[in-house]
Amino acid sequence: MIVPSIQDLRSIISFDDESGKIWLGEQRMLMLHASSFGALRNELVNSLGLSRAKGLLMRMGSLSGQNDARLARTIRPDSSEEDMFLVGPQLHALEGIVRVVPIKLELDIGSGRYYGEFYWENSFEAEEHLRTMGISGEPVCWNQIGYAGGYTSELVGVPILFKEIECMGMGDKHCRIVGKPIAEWEDGEKLSSYYSADSIAETLYSLSNEVTQLRSTMTEDVNPDDIIGESQSIKAALKLLKPAADCDVPVLLLGETGVGKDIFSVALHRLSKRKDKPFVAVNCAALPADLIEAELFGVEKGAFTGADQSRAGRFERAHGGTLFLDEVGELTAAAQAKLLRVVQSGEFDRVGDIHTRKVDVRLIAATNADLEEKVRAGEFRADLLYRINVFPLHIPALRERVEDIPALVDLFIQKSNVRHNKRVLGITDKVRAAFQQYSWPGNVRELENVIERGVILTEDGGKVDSTVLFPGQQQVGNLLPTVDRSGRLSSNQTVDLNIKEWFAEGNSFESLEQRIIEMALDSTDGNVSATARLLGMGDAQLRYRLKKFEIVAAGGSRVPED
């Protein structure tokens, strides 16, 4: 093939160092360092991944090619179609990108027929790829192949795709490229997908959504075995768990914030026949009111600004399994109406969609609000409450089950040790006593948080003490029993004995005598002789009274007799 002289192209390049511009015809060009382009290319691959970086570079090349095709028409307007076409390959060489050697070229601009085959020699992109990333398993001249496609498509007037058959970046002696119309490539659709711009922001958004979704369905951290306790109130709740799980009707979990409604919901799912299907949790209070419908029911592309892609909602994702709706009382009126429909019939529409979908989902709702009160106030639908309240399950507050605190403390110490790689032994007696008296408005979750903080702040091998848990907190400090001189615990009301109140409450003189002896014993660490001296009586007199009042000495053992 006879290639026309490149002289006409050389003459349109001018370097205008006075104004800091390089011209190719009327287009401003850049001379950049091949190595810095290579570094940028490498960074694109590392930060965006190979496929995305490849697409970006192909589109960049394609734009250059289109510009050069427009130029070609003006430079060789009267030449043969073949010579006009060869402007592109020659410019590619002149611009320092690659030397192009035509092997075969057939084109007919009028009919859109095209076949082109070329060798590429000294591909700058293959050189940079080899330098920064080493030898590749697939062709690497992405920017250049984009140029070839963009140039040819623009000039011929139909979409032409090029493919590298050989590539220096793969270790071949040179690159060899073939171009033909999209329709003639078997994998044309896949190849052309690189030329449509994709929004990374949109992908990041959907990925971050996916992560949130996965987090909400990850239940490793929520362990039904954490529901422990021997108190009557927790036993009563646990007794209902199995039948509730079995019957596959909506369950409404009731209880204050922090009682563990999330753990109960997971337990219900795991005990149910749906245990191998998805468990999806949504906290209705955590989602903005204007997004709640889209989150629960999904959204069709274009339903509102920003809905660039159709998305399934939580109901669809929970299909076959369980959906846990925490803080269900926070739902908007519109969301309540949709929820009622899906609970009744399993049917719903995505936001912005006319196509009705059907799901099979077991609903567990939870609330710390008084829903009946909300119904009376017109804030919650009575028919919805009726539907979701088929099986109500009350979870007791921690202050209703203080006897479970020691076991829960042990559990949370163990969990916190594992989570923070610590070896904290437990809590001090003083803290233990304070825990029994505290009202725990935040319930089990508050206890767990307090323990976790304590474990973090306590040295390995030590016990969580009150200075760590309640530094300078007066109101909590008041709950703490005082420690007497011997280090034994005594509660404040024993010390602050009020004689008037004592008798006003109907206590006897004998019981006052008993209390005084107990206090005296406390102050001597249970030493009977010392206590007797303190009280101004003989040992035998004191022993008689200890026996009479059945007073237990320090350490839990009965006062020994002579």
Q: Which residues bind Zn ion (CB under 5 A)?
A: 123, 126, 141, 167, 175
Nearest-approach distance from CB 208 to Zn ion, in angstroms: 36
Burial classification of residue 136, based on how many CB atoms lie within 10 Å of its CB (0-12 exposed, 13-18 middle, 19 or more buried): middle
In the bound state with Zn ion, the residue whose beta carbon lies nearer, of 137 and 378, is 137
In the bound state with Zn ion, the residue whose beta carbon lies nearer, of 130 and 413, is 130
Distance CA 432, CA 423 (A): 19
Phi and psi (nearest 5°) for 93? -70, -45
Nearest-approach distance from CB 198 to Zn ion, in angstroms: 24
- Residues linked to residue 14 through DSSP beta bridges, in sequence order: 23
Quickly list H helices, 177-309.
188-193, 200-217, 232-247, 261-271, 292-297
For 452, the token pair is: 């976790």
Strand 175-181 and strand 160-166: the pairing is antiparallel
For 493, the token pair is: 């009301």
Nearest-approach distance from CB 24 to Zn ion, in angstroms: 23
In the bound state with Zn ion, the residue whose beta carbon lies nearer, of 167 and 254, is 167
Buried b (16+ CB within 10 A) or exposed e, 172-183: eebbbbbbbbbe
Nearest-approach distance from CB 131 to Zn ion, in angstroms: 14
Of 232, 235, 226, the residue nearest 263 (C-alpha): 226
Distance CA 180, CA 202 (A): 32
In the bound state with Zn ion, the residue whose beta carbon lies nearer, of 175 and 388, is 175
In the bound state with Zn ion, the residue whose beta carbon lies nearer, of 123 and 322, is 123
In the bound state with Zn ion, the residue whose beta carbon lies nearer, of 118 and 348, is 118
Nearest-approach distance from CB 167 to Zn ion, in angstroms: 3
In the bound state with Zn ion, the residue whose beta carbon lies nearer, of 165 and 291, is 165
Distance CA 215, CA 217 (A): 5
In the bound state with Zn ion, the residue whose beta carbon lies nearer, of 144 and 336, is 144
Residue 414's alpha-carbon distances to 219, 398, 424, 470, in angstroms, are 19, 19, 8, 21
In the bound state with Zn ion, the residue whose beta carbon lies nearer, of 124 and 440, is 124
Nearest-approach distance from CB 150 to Zn ion, in angstroms: 17
Nearest-approach distance from CB 145 to Zn ion, in angstroms: 8
Buried b (16+ CB within 10 A) or exposed e, 459-498: eeeebbbbebbbeeeeeeeebbbeebeeebbbeeeeeeee
Of 196, 9, 163, 191, the residue nearest 84 (C-alpha): 9
Nearest-approach distance from CB 118 to Zn ion, in angstroms: 11
Distance from the first to the final alpha carbon of the chain: 125
Nearest-approach distance from CB 170 to Zn ion, in angstroms: 8
Nearest-approach distance from CB 422 to Zn ion, in angstroms: 56
Contacts of 46 (CB under 8 A, 6+ apart): none
In the bound state with Zn ion, the residue whose beta carbon lies nearer, of 160 and 364, is 160
In the bound state with Zn ion, the residue whose beta carbon lies nearer, of 152 and 368, is 152
3-state per-residue secondary structure call for 408-471: HHHHHHHHHHHHCCCCCCEECHHHHHHHHHCCCCCHHHHHHHHHHHHHHHCCCCCEECHHHHCC
Residues 284/331, Cβ–Cβ less than 8 Å: yes
Distance CA 17, CA 340 (A): 73
Residues 105/122, Cβ–Cβ less than 8 Å: no
Nearest-approach distance from CB 355 to Zn ion, in angstroms: 47
